[in-house]
Amino acid sequence: MEEKAIICKDLTKQFGGFYAVSNISFEVNRGEIFGFLGANGAGKTTAMRILCGLSFPTSGEATVAGFNVYNQQESIKKNIGYMSQKFSLYENLSIMENIEFFGGVYGLSRPEIKERSNKLVEDLGLKKEAKKMVGGLPLGWKQKLAFSVAIFHRPKIVFLDEPTGGVDPVTRRQFWDMIYDAAASGITIFVTTHYMDEAEYCNRVSIMVDGRLEALDTPGNLKKRFSSDSMDEVFYNLARRALRKDD
Amino acid sequence: MKRISFILQKEFRQIFRDKTILVMMFAVPTIQLIIIPQAINFDVKNINISVVDLDHSSFSQKLISKIGSSGYFRIVSADLSYRQALKHIEKEEADLVMEIPVGFERNLVREGAQKIGISVDAINGTKATIGYAYLNSIIAEFNTGLDINQVELSGNHSMAGIIEIEYSNWFNPMAEYKYYIVPGVLVLLLTMIGGFITALNIVREKEAGTIEQINVTPIKKWEFILGKLIPFWIIGMIVFSVGLIVCWLVYGIVSVGSMALLYLIAAVYMIALLGFGLLISTFSDSQVQAMFVAFFFIMIFILMSGLFTSVESMPSWARAISNLTPTTHFMKIVRMIMMKGSGLTDLKIELYYIIAFAFGLNGWAIWNYKKTS
Amino acid sequence: MKQLFVFIRKEFYHVFRDPRTLLIMFGLPLVQIILFGFALTSEVKNAHIFISDNAQDVQTTQIIQKIKSSSYFSVEEAVIGNKKIESILRRGNTRCVLIFPPNFGNDLLHTGKAQVQIIADGSDPNTAKTIINYLTSIISEYQHQVYSTASLPFQIIPETRMLYNEEGNGSLNYIPGVMALILMIVCTALTSVSIVKEKELGTMEVLLVSPFKPVMVLISKAVPYLLLSLVNFTFILLLSVFVLDVEIKGNLSLLFFESTLFIITCLSFGLLISNTTNSQQTALLLSMMGMMLPTIIFTGFLFPLENMPLIFRLISNLVPAKWYFTIIKCVMLKGLGFQYVWKETLVLIGMTIFLLTVSLKNFKIRLQ
C-alpha cells in the first residue's frame, strides 16, 4: 500500500467567527505535483500553514508524511521543505552561507553540505556569485535559490507558497523545470498559486473558494467538467461566486 | 547538538556584517560613559544669590561677606531694591534673594530681634532647599558669632554640654561623586544594550519573514532561543569589559572587590536582560513596537533603580516597584562590589533577585514563543 | 491638497491603531510625571542607620528618641563591636553607624564635653553628607535644648518666601524637563522611523515618483506627528494641572507657540536622522537610546548645568531641548512673558531652520 504524502479530512481553521478553512478533505499521493489553487483570501496559505506545522487546526484531521498535525509537528518538519511567499532567505548572508545554515539545521554533516552545495551552485549557474549576498541577487535567482535550499535536505514533501510571484514567464518556466526534476526524484510537490496557467503543469489541482474545497481533479478533467478551454476559465467559473476578496 | 553550532555561526555572521549596530553597541556606551559622569555633579556649590542691603551697616556688610566667603554662594549682584533683585531670579541669574532691611543693625541691638527676608526660587527644589539650608546655617553661625552675643555666652558658665561629633566617610574618604555615578552609568548602558538589541533583532526577523522559515524547520525552541541569547550575551559581556576598562583609564576607578564576582553577577544580569528583550519580542510584531515597549520599561527601570535618586527615599509603593526591577538590584551590587569590596554573603539577597529574574523572564519568553500558533 | 490630507489621515490611523505607540505617547509621560512627582526625590528619607549605644543612659536614650522621631531615618539599634561595623556597612543596607561611647552621659555631666562617632557609608557621597548634616543638626538641637540655659539674646530671624512654588511641591523642575524629554524623543523617533520604514519597504520611491514634490512628501509625514505631539504636550499639561496641582502661571498661547516651535525642531531632527540610515533599527536606536541620556543631562533639569565643566555647558547650548526647557520654565512656572524668552525663542528658530535646510538638502541628494 502506497503511503499517502498528505491526508486531510474535514480540516477546519476558525478565527473567532470567521472560517478561514472550512472542512476541506483531500489526499496527495507520493511523488505527485499537487496544485493548491484559489483566489487571494480563499484560505490557501492558512491551510498550507497547518500542513507545515505552523498553525494548529481548529478541528478535523490531517497527516503529513504519516505524522499528524496536532502533536507530531516536529516530525513533520524533519520531513518537509518550505518556500514562503517572501522567499525567506537571509539577505545579509551569502548564497553559500544560507545553504550551509539550512543544510546544518536539517541535520546534514559538514562534508555532505560542502559536496551538495558545490553541486547546487554549479547547477544553478551561480558558482561565481556563491559568495555574494543574497540581498543583492535579482528576484528570479533568489527564487530558484530558495527552492533549491528548500529541497536541499531531500525532504519527502516540499511546500511552495506562491513561488513564482513577480517574475517573467521565461523564469517561471525554468522554475517549473526545477519542480519537475524534483518530482522525478521522488519529492512530493505541494504548490499554491494563483497563476492558472501553472495549474496545467500539475498532476492534480484543487480549487479553494471562501475556505471550502470546490473542486479536486486533474486539469484535464476539470476543463471537461466545466466545459472550459483553460484553467483560467475553470477558475473564473468557480471563483466568481466567491464572497471573500483578500487574504 | 550540532545544530546549535550552525545557528551560532549564522548569528555571528549576521551580527558582524551589520557594522552600524556594532558601532552603536560599542561606541555609544563608551562615549556616554566618558561624557556623562563628567557632566553630572550633584555637589551644590555656586549657588547664586542677589543681595539687597538697605542698611549698609557694619553688621550687614559682615553678614554679606561671610556669605560670600563661605564657598557655597556666589554673590551675583548687589541690588538697590527687592524688585530689582527679583529680576535676577526671573532671568535665571540668581537662585536666592536676601534682603537686609533698613535699620538692621540698630534694631538688632535695640530690640533684640530682627527679620531678614529670603526669597528662594523654589522651582529647582534641590538647589533651593540646599541653598536655603546653607544660608540659614550661615546666618545662625553669624548670629552666634556676633560680639554682643559672645559677651553673653562666655559669661554664662552653665553653658555646658557640648557634644563633639567626629565623623568619617568610609569607602570614599574624599567623598567623590564619581565613584558613585560611574558604576551606575555602566549599569545603565549595559541595561539599554541588553534590553533593546535582542528585542530588535528578533522582531527584525519576524518582519522579514525569516522567523517563519525557522519555525518550519526542525529547530527546537531552545536551540533557537539559545542561538539568539548566546551571541548577544557574549557581546554584552564584552561591552561590560570595555566599560570597566574605560572606568579604569578615564576615571581611575578599579573595583575594590572581587572582579570574578562582578563578572559572575554581570553574566547573570545580562541573561535576565536578554530574557527581557526576548520576552518583548514575543509580544511585538514590528521593530517600532518592540522598541517602544522596551523603552517604556527600561526608562522605568532606570529611573527607579537608584541611579540618580535613592531607593529608600521613595514611598513604600514605589520601593516595592523598584524591587521588582532587576536593574535596582544589579545597581546595588555593582556599587557594593566596586566601592566597598562586598562579598558573596553580603550580596546574597540581591543576587537571588537577579537569578529569579533571569529564570522568570527567560522562562516566560520561552513559554510564550511558539513555533506553532 | 486633498492628497495631503489622505496621507496625513493614514499616518494617524497607523498611530492610533497600535496600542504600543499610544503607550509611548501617553503612557510614558504619565509614568514619568507620576514617578518624578511622587516617587523620586533627592531628599533623604527613611535612611537606614545603625546606632550602637554603648552608654545606655538617659542622655543617649533621649538623643536616640529624637533621631527616631524624625522622618529622615529608620533606626536599628544594637551594641556592636568595632569589627562588626565594617561588615554592616559592607552589607549594604545601612547608610551609617552612630556610636555613643560608654561614658557618654557621665562625660557630658562632669566634664561638659562628650563625643559621638558617625561612620558613614561614603559610597553615595551626597546622601552621606546629608545624613551627617541631619544627625549633626538633631544632636545640636538636643544640645541647645538641654544645655543652653541662655538663649541668644540677639536673634536674626530669617523670613522665607518660596517663589513660584507656594505649596512647596518638591521640585517642579521636572515638569518642563519631562515635556522636553518626551517631545524630543517621541517626536524624533516617530518621524525618523516613519520615513525610514517607507524607505525600507520601498514605498518611498513610489511616493517620490508621484506628482508630489519631495517637500510635500516630507510635510505629509511631519504634519501628523506635529499634531500628535501637540496632543501629547496638552496631555502633559493636563496631568500637571490635575494630578500634580500645578498652576500654569503664564500665557497659554505663548506656551503653545513655543511648544509648536520646539516640536518642529524635533521633527527636523528626526528628518536628519532618517537621512543617515536606511534601517529602522538604527533610526530607532539612535533617536531613542542615543538621545535619551544626552537630552536628560544637557537640558539641566536633573543635574544643574552650572556645575558642569565648561565644555559641557557649551555643548548644552547646542541641544534644542535645553532652550525649550528654559522657555517652559519661565513661561509656565514663573508666568513671565515673551520679553523674557525672546532670545531663547530666536535660538530655537535658528536651530530649526538650520536642521531643516541640512536635512532637506541631504534628502534631495539621496534621491539623485
Identify the pLDDT of residue C367.
59
Neighbours of chain B (3+ CB pairs under 8 A): A, C
| Other residues' Cβ atoms within 10 Å of the Cβ of residue A158 | 22
Alpha-carbon distance A104 to nearest alpha carbon in chain B (angstroms): 6
Q: Which residues of C touch B53 (CB under 8 A)?
A: none
DSSP characters over A193-213 = ES-HHHHTTSSEEEEEETTEE
Residue B230 has pLDDT above 90, yes or no: yes
Q: How far is CA A111 from CA A96, A104, A117, A128, in A?
A: 14, 11, 10, 21
More confident of the two residues A22 and C113 = A22
> Cell match 490611523: residue?
C13
> Cell match 483560467: residue?
A232
B217 and A77: CB-CB below 8 Å?
yes
DSSP characters over B248-273 = HHHH----SS-HHHHHHHHHHHHHHH
Residue C149 has pLDDT above 60, yes or no: no
Identify the pLDDT of residue C70.
84
What does the pLDDT average to over A89-101?
91
What does the pLDDT average to over B322-350?
89
Alpha-carbon distance B234 to nearest alpha carbon in chain A (angstroms): 21
Contact criterion met (CB below 8 Å) for B14 and B210 = no
One-letter amino acid of B75: I
Strand A204-209 to A33-38 pairing: parallel
Measured between CA atoms, the residue of chain B closest to residue C196 is: B288
The CA radius of gyration of chain A, in Å to the nearest whole number, is: 18
Q: How far does Cα B302 stand from its chain's mean position? A: 8
Contact criterion met (CB below 8 Å) for A104 and A113 = yes
Identify the pLDDT of residue B19.
83
Q: How far apart are CA B261 and CA B342, in angstroms?
A: 10
CB of B218 within 8 Å of a chain A CB? The answer is yes
Measured between CA atoms, the residue of chain B closest to residue A105 is: B3
What are the φ/ψ torsions at residue B316 (nearest 5 degrees)? -60, -35
Measured between CA atoms, the residue of chain B closest to residue A158 is: B216
| Other residues' Cβ atoms within 10 Å of the Cβ of residue C357 | 11
Q: What is the mean pLDDT of chain B?
A: 85
What confidence tier does B153 reach under pLDDT thresholds 50, 70, 90?
A: low
Q: How far apart are CA B338 and CA B326, in angstroms?
A: 18
Residue C135 has pLDDT above 90, yes or no: no
Identify the pLDDT of residue B13.
92
Count CB pairs under 8 A between chains B and C. 349
Contact criterion met (CB below 8 Å) for B185 and B227 = no
Q: How far is CA C157 from CA A201, B67, B68, B100, B131, in A?
A: 101, 16, 19, 11, 17
Residue C92 has pLDDT above 80, yes or no: no
One-letter amino acid of C124: D
Alpha-carbon distance B201 to nearest alpha carbon in chain C (angstroms): 8
Contact criterion met (CB below 8 Å) for A50 and A57 = yes
More confident of the two residues A45 and B360 = B360
Q: How far does Cα B159 stand from its chain's mean position? A: 45
Q: How many residues does chain A have?
A: 247
C157 and B91: CB-CB below 8 Å?
no
Contact criterion met (CB below 8 Å) for C116 and C100 = yes
Identify the pLDDT of residue C200.
79
Provide the percentage of residues in chain C whose pLDDT is more than 90: 7
Q: How far apart are CA B70 and CA B249, in angstroms?
A: 35
**Going by beta carbons, is chain B in contact with chain A, meaning 3 or more pairs sit under 8 Å apart?**
yes
Residue C203 has pLDDT above 70, yes or no: yes
Among A54, A105, A131, A132, most B C-beta atoms within 10 A, so best to mutate, is: A105
What does the pLDDT average to over C108-131?
83
User: Taking an 8 Å Cβ-Cβ cutoff, which residues of chain A contact chain B?
Assistant: 52-56, 73-74, 77-78, 80, 82, 84-86, 88-93, 97, 100-107, 109
Identify the pLDDT of residue A247.
45
Among B43, B304, B313, most C C-beta atoms within 10 A, so best to mutate, is: B313
Q: CB under 8 Å to C72, separation ≥6 — which residues?
A: C44, C45, C46, C47, C131, C134
Identify the pLDDT of residue A102.
93
What cell numbers appear for B84 in the block?
Answer: 530689582
Contact criterion met (CB below 8 Å) for B317 and B235 = no
What cell numbers appear for B141 in the block?
Answer: 553661625
CA diameter of chain B? 96
Q: CB under 8 Å to B252, separation ≥6 — which residues?
A: none
Contact criterion met (CB below 8 Å) for B327 and B302 = yes
Which candidate from B42, B171, B303 shows the least CB-CB separation from C126? Answer: B42
The continuous run of DSSP H or E covering B235 comes out as helix B221-251
More confident of the two residues A108 and C246 = A108
Structural domains of chain B in order of their starting residue, each with its CATH number: 2-40+177-368 (no CATH), 47-155 (3.40.1710.10)
Q: How far apart are CA B205 and CA B160, in angstroms?
A: 77
What confidence tier does A242 reach under pLDDT thresholds 50, 70, 90?
A: low
Q: How far apart are CA C112 and CA B163, in angstroms?
A: 8
Which residues on adjacent β-strands are paired with residue C93?
Answer: none
Residue A64 has pLDDT above 80, yes or no: yes
Q: Which residues of A touch B20 (CB under 8 A)?
A: none
Identify the pLDDT of residue C285.
85
What does the pLDDT average to over A14-18?
87
* Dihedral angle computed from the Cα positions of residues A117, A122, A124 and A130, in that order, rounded to the nearest 10 degrees: 60
Residue B266 has pLDDT above 90, yes or no: yes
B36 and C293: CB-CB below 8 Å?
yes
C302 and B308: CB-CB below 8 Å?
yes
More confident of the two residues B152 and C300 = C300
**pLDDT tens, residue by residue, C40-72:** 877 778 889 999 988 888 888 888 998 898 888
Identify the pLDDT of residue A32.
92
CA triple C107-C109-C111, angle to 5 deg: 55
| Other residues' Cβ atoms within 10 Å of the Cβ of residue A154 | 15
C2-17 vs C188-201: helix crossing angle, rounded to 10: 110
Which candidate from B7, B209, B372 shows the least CB-CB separation from A84? Answer: B209
Identify the pLDDT of residue A203.
93
Q: How far apart are CA B299 and CA B293, in angstroms?
A: 10
Q: How far apart are CA B21 and CA B4, in angstroms?
A: 23
Residue C220 has pLDDT above 80, yes or no: no
Identify the pLDDT of residue B164.
76
Q: Which residues of C touch B35 (CB under 8 A)?
A: 297, 312
SS (H, E, C) chain C: CHHHHHHHHHHHHHHHHCHHHHHHHHHHHHHHHHHHHHHCCCCCCCEEEEEEECCCCHHHHHHHHHHHCCCCEEEEECCCCHHHHHHHHHHCCCCEEEEECCCHHHHHHHHCEEEEEEEEECCCHHHHHHHHHHHHHHHHHHHHHHHCCCCCCCEEEEEEEEECCCCCCCCCCHHHHHHHHHHHHHHHHHHHHHHHHHHHHCHHHHHHHCCCCHHHHHHHHHHHHHHHHHHHHHHHHHHHHHCCCCCCCCCHHHHHHHHHHHHHHHHHHHHHHHHHCCCHHHHHHHHHHHHHHHHHHHHCCCCCHHHCCHHHHHHHCCCHHHHHHHHHHHHHHCCCCHHHHHHHHHHHHHHHHHHHHHHHHHHHHHHC
Give pairs for C78-86: CB < 8 Å, separation 24+.
Answer: C78/C50, C78/C52, C79/C52, C79/C53, C79/C54, C80/C50, C80/C52, C85/C52, C85/C119, C86/B170
Contact criterion met (CB below 8 Å) for A214 and A202 = no
Q: How far apart are CA B317 and CA B305, in angstroms?
A: 14
B40 and C279: CB-CB below 8 Å?
no
pTM for the full model?
0.83
Which residues on adjacent β-strands are paired with residue A61?
Answer: A9
Contact criterion met (CB below 8 Å) for A169 and A188 = no
Identify the pLDDT of residue A241.
66
**pLDDT tens, residue by residue, C287-331:** 888 888 888 888 887 777 777 888 888 888 988 999 999 898 888
One-letter amino acid of B104: F
Measured between CA atoms, the residue of chain B closest to residue A54 is: B372
A54 and B3: CB-CB below 8 Å?
no
Which residues on adjacent β-strands are paired with residue B169?
Answer: C120
B2-17 vs B221-251: helix crossing angle, rounded to 10: 50
Q: Which residues of B touch A105 (CB under 8 A)?
A: 3, 6-7, 217-219
Which candidate from B5, B14, B215 shows the least CB-CB separation from A90? Answer: B14
What cell numbers appear for B198 in the block?
Answer: 535582542
8-state DSSP, A133: B
More confident of the two residues C205 and C264 = C264
| CB-count burial class (<10 Å; 0-12, 13-18, 19+) for A7 | middle
Alpha-carbon distance B3 to nearest alpha carbon in chain C (angstroms): 28
The continuous run of DSSP H or E covering B99 comes out as strand B96-100
8-state DSSP, A15: E
Q: What is the mean pLDDT of chain C?
A: 83
